[in-house]
Structure 1
Amino acid sequence: MAASEQKVVYIDEDVGKDEPSVAGTEEAPYKTLAYAFQHHPPTTPGIQYLTRKSQTGPVEDGNEASRLEWKPATKSAMKKANSLWEQAKKKAAKAEQLALREKEEAEKRRQVLEEAKKVVIKEDPSLPKPVRIRLDETNPNIVQLGSPDGSKKGTRVRVLGRVHRLRPQKDVIFITLYDGYGYLQCILTGDLTRTYDAMTLTLETSMAIHGEMREVPPKQHAPNNRELHADYFTIIGKAAGDKEAITNRVAPDAEPHVLLDNRHLVLRGETASAVMKVRAAALRAFRKTFEENRLLEVTPPAMVQTQVEGGATLFQFDYYGEPAYLTQSSQLYLETCLPSLGDVFCICPSFRAEKSLTRRHLSEYTHIEAELDFITFEDLLDHLETVISRVIELLLEDPQIAKFIHDMNPDFKPPARPFKRMRYAEAIEWLREHDIPNEEGKPHEFGDDIAEAAERKMTDTINQPIFLTHFPAEIKAFYMKKDASDPRVTESVDVLMPGVGEIVGGSCRIDDYDELIAAYQRENMDPSPYYWYTDQRKYGTSPHGGYGLGLERFLAWICGRYTIRECCLYPRFTGRCTP
């Protein structure tokens, strides 16, 4: 080949680019020799590779222009590039073979599915009419189980649900349906497996299945030790598959924000649904416990014009031209109910505009609040211990709820009574003795507001429920009653649980008119908007107190959840109000 016909490829390791738009010319060089090999193979007759480092290359004899000289690639560089090129060829060949095989398999799959469309199933009219049941229905008067081998017939049933698990095998398909009540293993055989619907079945597809209920064969397992041997099915709503499959939308290792964006799909999971069922059971248990203790349920307003816990955490909005807020607590309203209704409680949402992203803070949470009339501080503590213990007792009495709790939190045990009682001053000493500093990195002093991290470390170390009592008046709300034996502190209590920290805040309330007016003045609060609250001290005052319990924190403790965001249907916190 003549010199004029020689193919020259240029590689500049500093400014070159390994991109399809680059031609490998002197004006547009490649960056690496390996890339040049892929587009201009070394097997090309007369090909030559010229390389340089135009900016970082060595300067010869002080001549800066030497950096710009093109030089033939070295033998070692050619050998290395050739090795990489060979690897790339093998990889490309393998990819080509894989693509060809996938194409062939896709064509075979298409043909099989075309044949499957011809398979039509019909319900056998000679069979007994199926009995409609929920998936958890086990009443033997309704559902009789047949023998595993079919020698003894079971009840023919109709079930409706969604595909939770799917396991196709040769000539048989195992399906686990769920309907929000329970799970049921269903078995498709024969022509049922050869239909187009069966061959394209996806997770979360809703369907109706008819068949015979049988016991599970020995040494095999299924929900409630039974399975449905199908004789007919219909698809009600087909779920998306491939890239849109639910397992891709909410993969187990997905980032937290992805799971929150798809909370509506996460709720279909076994753990999320179990937490919601424990939550519902906990609400029932609290209501039953309050009823047993003769507390009446009331429903206070969520839109208010007064504050309870401080203005910095109020959600403000325009209320027909006047400023109003979403309630932080229903406590003040509950206190007004005591004279005519006796002890009362409410289960309502509360709203705190705290820009906190900790795992135990929400902007909207379910607040279980109660107020008790004619009580002492000791009465309040005894009541709290009774309520918490009784609710746990009721939860564990329900076999299904107890199983959910054990599956999620195997180490959970009901707390022993009496609960540990520790005064704030004792907690300060404990923190000092264990070298746990305050937020400024200094030893704790009386008057410090114990931070979340220090409080949790103490609680987890002690590892039992703690009634932390008698906080300094300066760090507590204006309405809390002072301890008559030590006016520095209030008759207040935080209930702390291992792994979560505070789940309850409570106190006895100021019941003296003049003392309450002084508390308004101390906090620079205008008492006029609180006239209806202050009136309780003018018209037959009484010693009373109450508390607020965060349901999500209670559930996080019971269910062993890392964050309380898992313990509500759709969590709301700083920056999150979707979906």
Structure 2
Amino acid sequence: MKSTISEVSQCIGQEVTIGAWLSNKRSSGKIAFLQLRDGTGFIQGVVVKNEVEEEVFQKAKSLSQETSLYVTGIVREDARSPFGYELQVKDIQVIHEAVDYPITPKEHGTEFLMDHRHLWLRSRKQHAVMKIRNEIIRATYEFFNQKGFVKIDPPILTGSAPEGTTELFHTKYFDEDAYLSQSGQLYMEAAAMAFGKVFSFGPTFRAEKSKTRRHLIEFWMIEPEMAFYEHEDSLKLQEQYVSYIVQSVLKNCQLELGRLERDTSKLENVQAPFPRITYDEAIELLHEKGFQDIEWGEDFGAPHETAIAEHFEKPVFITHYPAKIKPFYMQPDPNRPEVVLCADLIAPEGYGEIIGGSERIHDYDLLKKRLEEFHLSLDAYQWYLDLRKYGSVPHSGFGLGLERTVAWISGVEHVRETIPFPRLLNRLYP
């Protein structure tokens, strides 16, 4: 019967046929060991010369890397394998022979691997990272569905800039100007006024000319928005959500975390509640750590975030940033209007900000004033002002960057390995 590698645990002692690719092989005289993958996982196929037809054994020894096959054999338990099973091969049928596969088991440079990203995805490490990414996405839908959220899809083409920045990809929309979305947030606020609690999951684009290990030009965001949620309510939801996805990966991706040699003890500690410090306290902490150049009113860079994160064993919220360095829509602290009711969630181990969120301004006059201060077109944002005109309520939301979160949880150094086909400053291929 046909099976996949992920299903062989249900077929112990039975003969199965698996469609697979040969990722590697080795032989020692009378035994050939085939490293097989089928997309669902990896398994070792063992071909014993005395137990198969001579033709089958010779075929096994001559197979080239990434040749596609149908492999038939008996499923056996194998305590030595991280997967726990192996295949006692009886027959091999070649579907397509791969010749001169470019990514060999030797070391390759990053640029070479990125040029061959369409093939590099097949490797064990990349497979593990993508499976962890998939689990985070699955757990995200599960978490928000359980909490009664409705998924809403905001547009990718927009006529204005949610963050009010110039780092946008511009295009012509017939006879109008349009931009690739840098966030679905404003549209999610409109959806929250209709459905109460909503979330989106989709691509966003930032035309930042940055080459750091934390930045991509195109990345994916999870953006929840909640009516009748104040700042504190949002923080509690954020720490519940992050705890949930981390624990889901620990539960369902043990094999992948092991393949990446991830120190899971650090992830096991990620349980709500998370520590919190204010922007003021963060400035003091940085001064104590030797960052004398950072002054109140300046935004934090990667070294600052890393230094703050090193002070804690869990993700840490930095709250109450100065209003002048945050977007126009954030609610001022009523007790201290020069700061806003916002928070960035900084991941441990130097992975930086993974969530940015805030309570949103819900007063019409204040929002209009802020738009004018940021020199933004009132006409372009009239629909956004309407949300404060017809039944406005306190509301909050946040955005989680998927690729940085995958990098942190999986322990890989660079976000380019956490998205199937990364778009970087100097890379649009493949």
Q: Tell me which interval the TM-score lies in, with the shorter structure as reference length.
A: over 0.9
User: Does residue 471 of structure 1 match 2:321?
Assistant: yes
Q: Indicate conservation of the 8 Å contact 1:313/1:353, yes or no.
A: yes
User: Does residue 138 of structure 1 match 2:138?
Assistant: no
The equivalent residue for 2:142 is 288
Aligned partner of 2:299: which letter? D
User: Does residue 228 of structure 1 match 2:87?
Assistant: yes
The equivalent residue for 2:263 is 410
Q: Indicate conservation of the 8 Å contact 1:478/1:519, yes or no.
A: yes
The equivalent residue for 1:546 is 397
1:529 counterpart SS class: coil
- Whole-angstrom distance in 1 between the partners of 2:359 and 2:56: 70
Shift of 1:529: 0.6
1:418 counterpart SS class: coil
Deviation per residue, 1:350-390 (Å, 9 max, x gap): 00000000000111000100101112211111111111112
1:464 counterpart SS class: coil
The equivalent residue for 2:220 is 366
Shift of 1:562: 0.6
Pairing partner for 2:103 from 223, 226, 246: 246
The equivalent residue for 1:516 is 367
Aligned partner of 2:31: which letter? V
Q: Indicate conservation of the 8 Å contact 1:364/1:571, yes or no.
A: yes
Q: Indicate conservation of the 8 Å contact 1:183/1:223, yes or no.
A: no
Q: Indicate conservation of the 8 Å contact 1:184/1:223, yes or no.
A: no
- Whole-angstrom distance in 2 between the partners of 1:403 and 1:179: 16
Q: List gaps (5 residues or longer) in structure 2.
A: none
User: Does residue 209 of structure 1 match 2:63?
Assistant: no
1:133 counterpart SS class: coil
The equivalent residue for 1:314 is 168
The equivalent residue for 2:44 is 185
Shift of 1:576: 0.9
| Residues 224/487 of structure 1: CA separation in 2 closer, same or farther (3 Å cut) | closer
Q: Indicate conservation of the 8 Å contact 1:166/1:173, yes or no.
A: yes
- Whole-angstrom distance in 1 between the partners of 2:256 and 2:57: 37
The equivalent residue for 1:378 is 232
Q: Indicate conservation of the 8 Å contact 1:192/1:232, yes or no.
A: no
- Whole-angstrom distance in 2 between the partners of 1:571 and 1:287: 23
Aligned partner of 1:360: which letter? R
| Residues 385/228 of structure 1: CA separation in 2 closer, same or farther (3 Å cut) | closer
Aligned partner of 1:487: which letter? P
Aligned partner of 1:179: which letter? D
Shift of 1:326: 0.2
Deviation per residue, 1:282-313 (Å, 9 max, x gap): 00101111111111101110000110123321
Matched ranges for 1:61-210 at <5 A: 131-140=1-10, 143-145=11-13, 155-188=14-47, 189-190=49-50, 191-192=53-54, 197-210=59-72
- Whole-angstrom distance in 1 between the partners of 2:407 and 2:32: 38
| Residues 353/192 of structure 1: CA separation in 2 closer, same or farther (3 Å cut) | farther
- Whole-angstrom distance in 2 between the partners of 1:454 and 1:484: 28
Query: Which one is further off, 310-319 or 365-374?
Result: 310-319
- Whole-angstrom distance in 2 between the partners of 1:225 and 1:523: 59
User: Does residue 570 of structure 1 match 2:421?
Assistant: yes
Aligned partner of 1:343: which letter? K
Shift of 1:460: 2.3
Deviation per residue, 1:551-576 (Å, 9 max, x gap): 01111111111111111101112111
| Residues 225/318 of structure 1: CA separation in 2 closer, same or farther (3 Å cut) | same
* TM-score of the superposed pair, with normalisation by structure 1: 0.70
- Whole-angstrom distance in 1 between the partners of 2:63 and 2:182: 48
Aligned partner of 2:66: which letter? E
Q: Indicate conservation of the 8 Å contact 2:60/2:92, yes or no.
A: no
- Whole-angstrom distance in 2 between the partners of 1:358 and 1:364: 14
User: Does residue 348 of structure 1 match 2:202?
Assistant: yes
Max Rg structure: 1
| Residues 384/195 of structure 1: CA separation in 2 closer, same or farther (3 Å cut) | closer
- Whole-angstrom distance in 1 between the partners of 2:298 and 2:86: 61
Deviation per residue, 1:513-533 (Å, 9 max, x gap): 000110011111111111111
- Whole-angstrom distance in 2 between the partners of 1:508 and 1:386: 17
- Whole-angstrom distance in 1 between the partners of 2:288 and 2:83: 53
Query: Which one is further off, 185-194 or 518-527?
Result: 185-194
- Whole-angstrom distance in 2 between the partners of 1:199 and 1:387: 49
- Whole-angstrom distance in 2 between the partners of 1:215 and 1:516: 64
Shift of 1:458: 2.0
Aligned partner of 1:185: which letter? Q
Aligned partner of 1:171: which letter? K
Query: Which one is further off, 167-176 or 378-387?
Result: 167-176
Shift of 1:225: 4.0
Pairing partner for 2:282 from 416, 424, 427: 427
- Whole-angstrom distance in 1 between the partners of 2:243 and 2:82: 31
| Residues 206/494 of structure 1: CA separation in 2 closer, same or farther (3 Å cut) | same
2:425 counterpart SS class: coil
The equivalent residue for 1:536 is 387
| Residues 167/424 of structure 1: CA separation in 2 closer, same or farther (3 Å cut) | same
1:166 counterpart SS class: strand
* TM-score of the superposed pair, with normalisation by structure 2: 0.94
Shift of 1:193: 5.6
- Whole-angstrom distance in 2 between the partners of 1:495 and 1:395: 19
Pairing partner for 1:559 from 410, 414, 422: 410
Shift of 1:264: 1.3
Give the percent of matched residue pairs that are identical in Structure 1 and Structure 2.
36
| Residues 292/194 of structure 1: CA separation in 2 closer, same or farther (3 Å cut) | closer
The equivalent residue for 1:108 is none
The equivalent residue for 1:452 is 302
Shift of 1:395: 2.5
Pairing partner for 2:247 from 373, 390, 393: 393
- Whole-angstrom distance in 2 between the partners of 1:421 and 1:227: 48
- Whole-angstrom distance in 2 between the partners of 1:297 and 1:199: 51
The equivalent residue for 1:264 is 118
| Residues 462/211 of structure 1: CA separation in 2 closer, same or farther (3 Å cut) | closer
Q: Indicate conservation of the 8 Å contact 1:302/1:350, yes or no.
A: yes
Backbone CA RMSD of aligned residues: 1.8
Which one has a larger percent strand, Structure 1 or Structure 2? Answer: 2
Q: Indicate conservation of the 8 Å contact 1:160/1:209, yes or no.
A: yes
Task: Tell which has more relative contact order, 1 or 2 (C-alpha 8 A, sep 6+).
Answer: 2
1:379 counterpart SS class: helix
Deviation per residue, 1:9-45 (Å, 9 max, x gap): xxxxxxxxxxxxxxxxxxxxxxxxxxxxxxxxxxxxx
Shift of 1:182: 2.2
1:136 counterpart SS class: helix
Task: Report how many aligned residue pairs link the two structures.
Answer: 423
